[in-house]
């Protein structure tokens, strides 16, 4: 379990004597060795390796390191002339490259002692006289040319005049001039806005994208932070509305003492998904069946029982979605109708006690078969209701509620049915076009939050699926997964490169506190928080590894608060302290421009890609623990991390 700052916090600031020496003689190419996560207590090595005297020799030396460490050196080099490097220019930088990954020999080396960092449009270096209209790119000397976007994972260090980012490697820019650092940050945010929305980062452009109600999203520095300050009241022992100090014992990472219990899955049954139960059992959904595991206060463990898929259609494939129902005695399994696409024509109902698929339900509306992209329970905790017969469905342009009873409200007799029973469309709306729904989640009272391909997040009340009560604008990245707190006050959206945390609380005209699920929030809407990996961790997680399934810890009772957030990135399970993320005085947010991002997290590293990371139900949090166990599943193993607060 490693922290987020163990390898990136090496101060790249140069002493005057070192700078003078480096300009006079190229005899030291490495700037220092940041400690790896596993040895963060050891001092970073400052020993330098001999540096070749010429630029060509430096490049050859770096390429040899590339072969040794499997780190690309010159991603997407500019085919045109590099910007002229002038030490007096505002955009003059020293370029560093991180090599060695997370190994003990990891370190930052100087890749270019003097380069120019500029933003240019793609196509600017072509011979065509027409003005370039492509996306903005970051160009640093002749070594880096990368599109400006969230995938850069750019992070600033104002005190060091430093910027870290990912471009087929982990790089750091050290600006020679303070004004140059500020100018770079302002231009970066403008280019990012234009690349994301296709309009210039002017007042008119921001108003077009965000509108009047979401002005705080366009200019977070001008927004109302009181919502975030008030958010700590439920946890803070201090007086009402008093901001918390930057560091308190309650805000220290809660993952200091972990006890891991690991066990392999049954041979030949790789885990595809995890269905956590709040009652006695949880379920590992694999290629050929479901392994039943027992819930304990220290995690989940096998019972030696498994349910093989039997009965029903012969073309039944491994389900991509498993939904527990009816006091967790039944499970709905949804398999894609076409490989590579998430849509399904129906669901298989599995009786867990008998181990048989007892029915194949069809999705149908007005006599016509339809598809669904996703399904979920009517509300958080509904899976524990023994009488539950309805669930929610989502497709690209549909949001609805399905009922497993017939039109008279009677549970259909599946044993005597001669054909696949049809689910009853009892509530919902089919939108004409353009919604491009991707994912959804429900609150404790049955309100619904829906995420879209364009990044928008819509809030619907339980009583109406036709018109969203609130629609949050997108930030340029598709929403791939959503979760919401039991009380509906907080939403966690997942994108490929970051998580977005949104507060839905507002005060109505009568002075009453409400959420955006029950009414229009108006203009007093706080800017969201972003949760990100630092550039080094993002790179080490893998080029094709993306954030998946960001979730809150699990509570199903009014008055209880979720304590942590967890998401999966490749081989990483990443955990944030929810209270720390919400704290406006948190050190991560100091001196940040634009939307504030939190980089304080803990990482659990596994040997293979992680399938799912979820906290068990709050009832399994024991007296000396601040949280229920965290379950981390890989295709061949499942681990439970029991957390102790003894430290």
Give residue-wise pLDDT tens across range 95-128: 999 999 888 999 999 999 999 999 999 876 655 5
pLDDT band for position 562 (50/70/90)? very high
pLDDT in the model for residue 358? 87
Q: Region 529-539: what's the mean pLDDT? A: 95
Query: What are the CB-based long-range contacts (under 8 Å, 24+) for 136-139?
Result: 136/191, 136/192, 136/194, 136/195, 138/165, 138/167, 138/188, 138/191, 139/78, 139/82, 139/83
- Residue with more model confidence, 292 or 415: 292
- In whole angstroms, give the CA distance from residue 456 to residue 478: 8
The rounded distance, in Å, linking the Cα atoms of 329 and 349 is 11
Q: Which pLDDT score is estimated for 204? A: 93
Domain ranges in the chain? 2-201, 232-276+532-647
pTM, to two decimals: 0.83
60-80 pLDDT tens trace: 554 555 443 333 444 444 444
The predicted structure's pLDDT at residue 8: 62
List, in sequence order, every residue forming a beta bridge with 603; answer none if it has no partner: 2, 574
pLDDT of residue 73: 40
- From residue 632, how far is each of 569, 597, 605, 619 by CA, in Å? 12, 25, 10, 18
Q: What's residue 263's pLDDT?
A: 74
Query: pLDDT class for 12, splitting at 50, 70, 90?
Result: low
Task: Copy the structure tokens of residue 297.
Answer: 């206060």
- Token reading at 96: 């560093």
Q: Which two tokens mark 515?
A: 């959420």
Lowest-confidence segment of 11-25, 249-263, 317-331, 390-404 by average pLDDT: 11-25
Question: Is the confidence at residue 255, as pLDDT, over 60?
Answer: no
DSSP per position, 66-132: HHHHT--SS-S--SSPPPPP-TTSTTEEEEEEEESTTSTT-EEEEEEEEEEEEEEETTTTSS--SPP
Q: Give the position of tokens 């001196």.
A: 591
Mean pLDDT to the nearest integer, 593-619? 92
Residue 516 reports pLDDT greater than 80: yes
User: Residue 95: exposed, middle, or buried by beta-carbon count in 10 A (0-12, 13-18, 19+)?
Assistant: buried
Cα separation, 429 vs 398, in Å, equals 6
| Region of poorest pLDDT, from 9-23, 585-599, 625-639 | 9-23
Q: How far apart are CA 239 and CA 186, in angstroms?
A: 38
Lowest mean pLDDT across 52-66, 364-378, 605-619? 52-66
pLDDT at 399 (0 to 100) = 97
Q: Over 50: is that where the pLDDT of 353 sits?
A: yes
CB 269 within 8 A of CB 289: yes
Residue 625 has pLDDT above 60, yes or no: yes
Q: What is the mean predicted confidence (pLDDT) over 310-316? A: 50
User: Does residue 278 contact residue 617 with C-beta atoms inside 8 Å?
Assistant: yes
Degrees to nearest 5, angle at CA 253 with 247 and 255: 165
Whether the predicted pLDDT of 637 surpasses 60: yes
User: Please, which pLDDT band fits residue 525 given cuts at 50, 70 and 90?
Assistant: confident
Statement: 2-201 belongs to CATH 2.70.150.10: no
Average pLDDT across the chain, whole number: 80
Residue 638: which of 333, 254, 327, 303 has the closest Cα? Answer: 303
pLDDT value for 575: 95
For the segment 173-185, the average pLDDT, to the nearest whole number, is 96
Helix H or strand E segment including 540: helix 535-540
Q: Is the pLDDT of residue 317 over 70?
A: no
Lowest mean per-residue pLDDT among 99-113, 171-185, 294-308, 449-463: 294-308
Q: Which of the residue ranges 216-220, 268-272, 490-494, 607-611 would you say has the lowest mean pLDDT?
A: 268-272
Average pLDDT over residues 404-430: 71
Residue-wise pLDDT tens digits, 459-485 = 999 988 999 999 999 999 999 999 999
Quote the distance between the C-alpha of residue 510 and its chain's center.
Answer: 36
What pLDDT is stored for residue 524 in this prediction? 73
pLDDT of residue 370: 92
- Does the pLDDT value for residue 156 go beyond 90? yes
């Amino acid at each position: 379990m490693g922290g987020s700052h163990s390898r990136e916090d090496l101060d790249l600031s140069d002493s005057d004597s070192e700078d003078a020496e480096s300009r006079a003689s190229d005899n030291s190419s490495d700037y220092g060795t940041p400690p790896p996560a596993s040895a963060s207590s050891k001092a970073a090595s400052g020993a330098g390796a001999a540096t070749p005297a010429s630029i060509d020799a430096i490049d050859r030396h770096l390429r040899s390191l590339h072969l040794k460490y499997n780190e690309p050196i010159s991603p997407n080099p500019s085919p045109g002339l590099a910007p002229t490097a002038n030490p007096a220019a505002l955009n003059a930088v020293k370029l560093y490259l991180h090599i060695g990954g997370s190994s003990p020999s990891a370190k930052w080396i100087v890749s270019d002692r003097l380069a120019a960092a500029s933003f240019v449009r793609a196509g600017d270096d072509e011979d065509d006289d027409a003005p370039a209209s492509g996306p903005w790119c970051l160009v640093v000397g002749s070594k880096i040319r990368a599109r400006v976007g969230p995938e850069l994972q750019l992070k600033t260090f104002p005190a060091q005049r430093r910027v870290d980012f990912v471009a087929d490697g982990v790089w750091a820019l050290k600006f020679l001039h303070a004004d140059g650092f500020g100018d770079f940050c302002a231009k970066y945010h403008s280019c990012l806005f234009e690349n994301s929305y296709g309009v210039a980062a002017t007042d008119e452009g921001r108003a077009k994208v965000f509108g009047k109600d979401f002005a705080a999203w366009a200019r977070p520095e001008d927004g109302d932070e009181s919502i975030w300050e008030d958010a700590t009241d439920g946890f803070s022992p201090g007086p009402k509305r008093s901001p918390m100090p930057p560091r308190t014992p309650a805000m220290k990472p809660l993952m200091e003492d972990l006890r891991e219990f690991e066990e392999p899955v049954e041979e030949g049954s790789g885990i595809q998904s995890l269905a956590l139960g709040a009652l006695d059992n949880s379920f590992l959904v694999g290629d050929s069946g479901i392994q039943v595991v027992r819930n304990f206060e220290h995690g989940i463990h096998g019972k030696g029982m498994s349910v093989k898929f039997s009965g029903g259609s012969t073309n039944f494939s491994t389900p991509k979605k498993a939904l527990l129902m009816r006091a967790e005695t039944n499970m709905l399994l949804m398999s894609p109708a076409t490989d590579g696409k998430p849509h399904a024509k129906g669901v298989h109902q599995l009786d867990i006690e008998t181990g048989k698929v007892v029915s194949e339900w069809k999705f149908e509306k007005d006599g016509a078969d339809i598809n669904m992209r996703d399904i979920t329970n009517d509300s958080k905790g509904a899976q524990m209701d023994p009488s539950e017969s309805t669930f929610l469905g989502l497709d690209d342009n549909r949001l609805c509620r399905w009922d497993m009873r017939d039109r008279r409200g009677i549970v259909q007799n599946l044993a005597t049915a001669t054909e696949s029973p049809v689910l009853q469309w009892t509530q919902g709306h089919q939108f004409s076009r353009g919604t491009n729904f991707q994912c959804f989640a429900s609150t404790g009272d049955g309100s619904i939050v829906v995420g879209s391909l364009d990044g928008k997040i819509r809030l619907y009340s339980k009583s109406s699926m036709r018109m969203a009560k609130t629609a949050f604008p997108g930030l340029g990245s598709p929403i791939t997964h959503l979760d919401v707190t039991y009380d509906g006050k907080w939403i966690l959206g997942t994108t490929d490169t970051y998580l977005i945390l949104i507060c839905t609380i507002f005060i109505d005209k009568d002075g009453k506190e409400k959420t955006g699920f029950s009414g229009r929030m108006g203009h007093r809407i706080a800017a969201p928080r972003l949760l990100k990996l630092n550039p080094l961790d993002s790179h080490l997680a893998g080029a094709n590894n993306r954030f998946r399934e960001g979730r809150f810890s699990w509570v199903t009772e009014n008055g209880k608060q979720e304590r942590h957030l967890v998401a999966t990135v490749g081989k990483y399970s990443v955990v944030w302290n929810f209270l720390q993320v919400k704290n406006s005085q948190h050190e991560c947010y100091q001196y940040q421009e634009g939307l504030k991002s939190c980089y304080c997290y803990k990482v659990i590293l596994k040997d293979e890609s992680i399938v799912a990371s979820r906290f068990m139900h709050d009832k399994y949090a024991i007296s000396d623990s601040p949280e229920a166990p965290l379950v981390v599943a890989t295709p061949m193993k499942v681990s439970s991390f029991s957390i102790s607060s003894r430290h």
